[in-house]
Structure 1
């Protein structure tokens, strides 16, 4: 190799390091570019996130401010239900407010039954995520703001029983998801917006007891295919009933009375499926003429019951001659009209298997031009519990067939429905007048509680200071009413518990609380308390005892009559009776039931069992009794 070549080669050796340096420079530049892109992307994401957070904050702030404006429009809040509406907590935790989890936007405003007095702020239209507004049973006045029409997600708008005035906003037709709209019992006037009938999602429309006028659209039955409850009664709506009403195949409630409407209510075709043609649940108003004919002119032969504010007839209604019970109110009684409204509202809005079912009502004029009001109920073939417990002497009746198990079932039926009214109904209800003659028995001897004429609604709160406070009027029959009622105490759930105690003792002892033997301080409670547990056979209804024990009990009762109603304690005789004749499990069952009755009748209302506890205990007693029968292979 020559020197030139060597030199040339030596000059080429540094070249690779120069290329590497250039590549490293390019790599560094590329890495810097990547880092720059990452930083830019991260910054962009942060900016987007900040924008989203800012947007959420702004929309949440809109809801918060709208709620504050709503509160400002309610100057009177007697139960301080809006006291939590302040900046000390997130508005989603305010009383009556529900928010969705994702957006933290207000989806429900539920302030039913708190006696709120004020107007409805137009700012409510800014709560655009609202699906439920429930302000019924308050004292809201003024107009329904047009801004409600901005709530396109709204599904339920309940404003019943306030003092709202003005017209129904036509903007409500923009609420395309609206399913239930209730403005009954207000002072609204004008016509029902025709556009409202075009909201095909609407299932319940309640505008009864207002001052609305106008006519019903001819296509009402075509535009509301999903409608199943339509309350139009007590307004000034005129014209002919549209034939298209017959197309409302899902309709189960229709009230039209006390309007200026003419024509007949279109009937559903009998060619439709049984669920469509059955009218057992259809609440169509009936005329005085129909009820007159159904009862053969309100004949005494069809009279099946009576009370202070009305009488009850048996009748055969419609072409199917379906048996019904028709309660005709005595409108001379000062409580009759209010009782009519209370009972209609209670029985239409509350559902339980052990409540009597209201079928229809009538508010009209009789043939003499007098005002006439009546309620039509499902007919109970076995009548009232009272006639089973206390048959007339000349009527050897079905009382002997009312077994212990049947009485247990009836006691549980009644406890269950009172527990439901107190603790599980949408709005708590105090029954106020529990007694055997308003407990009706169907063909299967299932008990149904009827007669809501004295029922009271409670605000939806657990604060005892917020119970309904009206002390005006009767709070139940004297023999069954709690002692605090006699001292002007307010109606309460504890009062119902006391009435249940009287009912329970009466059913298992077979004696009315007004029996002539109860005097000089002796009553049902003391009668049972003094005898239990050893003297059970002396006080229990003889029908529940084996024949041998019943004969001995009759002898004991004869001694009571000869000794000024004082229970004679013959320990030796009682021990023989209890050990030799009465079954131990029967004895335990009866003692347990009567002890429940005693626990419900404590003088202090706070010391009484509540109906949830009573229902649970009665189920346990029944199951224990049935279990003992099954274990022994016995028959009930």
Structure 2
């Protein structure tokens, strides 16, 4: 910036000298010099204006009538979305975001040689990006998100050497990421997500030392994460989730100290997270490796991420106990996964092979909004310390081996909106304090060994009736499979789980129907063959295992 300003000052100070010399040298035609200069300026203006008119000609949809201002009654520098330079009437910015425009991009856009910012996001532009865009050598910002642009990313974008911001997300782009983008030495933001890119991430991107953001999420990329990306010391945002990327995560990626978001979820990445990995991402706030094939244990050093507020490692092959605060060496003990106080949004460890008890250190997650430990092999009692997580809004513990009763300390979790502890070995009575959870919208207590009376107020009010009414299609006659002295039996399918059930309207699940009448019913898993009595009272001589049933207590409002 300083060099450019000084150059302008030199040019301005040089002009009077030229004029003075021209006056003294009478052989020169001063008037002709002025005419030539004026003609040059007009020619430049005409080029820009014609390029804009060609751009306008390709617009096929303009419901807000934005293009009506693009007419000869006013100078093109005053047209909607146009900014010109201060010292010359040449276009430096073309900004028309979210104006419901549609059409294709004119190749004449490449004639706007002074253009520094092009923002057409949030419109309906389609067809390919013209190769002529590579002629914009002064371009610093290219923003094309949320359109319907197709074709490949122009490889000659590398000629736009001053480009800082390149954002083409949410389009229909195809082909591979051009390796030539690795020549954009000034690039800081590279976002091409929610498109249809294929191929692999080019290692040449590792040469972009200024790069701060990489987002290629939700494409069809394959290959591996290049080792070269571990050199991007200024990288703060890395998201390549929802692709087909395989291989392992380069260890060097864990040493990028400026990273604030790291998301590789939803790929085919393998490898082991060894407990001795040196996890040095002190500024990371979001860390997600969900939905891969990563095995091993959760590295203890992840606790070095003191700013972490979202941790997603679910749906992998992680094993071993959830780390606790036991002393492992003579060094100062850092807090472990369940003791990171900065976790305020998500902690999801579900769909792994975690074993052992839920450590009491869970009490340190006082500000956490969602805790999901479902579908593991956790066992033992639910710790009383879980009641200290007073900010919890969602708690998912289903599909484990937890046993005995629900601790009374959970009564402090009054902000819960969703609670699922189904498919465990829990027993005892259903806590009456759940009726006071006014924010509770989803409750699943099914497939446990609870006993006693089901509460009838709060979230429990009308719950058998609502779920069973939907499951049996309003107790329709076509779902009636039997009748007897004690009531009718209907076949149904629970919409929440898809489980087939037999509903005998009688005594176990109680509530009121929509008319205020008492409603009582027994709910069993539906058996395809034979009567309910045959299955409940099988003869020992049948040499078949006895079956057991579990009551379904499910509420989804």
Report the TM-score range of the alignment, normalised by the length of the smaller protein.
0.3 to 0.5
Q: What TM-score does the superposition give when structure 2 sets the normalisation length?
A: 0.47
More helix as a share of residues: 1
Which of 1 and 2 has higher RCO (CA within 8 Å, sep 6+)?
A: 1
* Higher radius of gyration, 1 or 2: 1
More strand as a share of residues: 2
Q: What TM-score does the superposition give when structure 1 sets the normalisation length?
A: 0.41
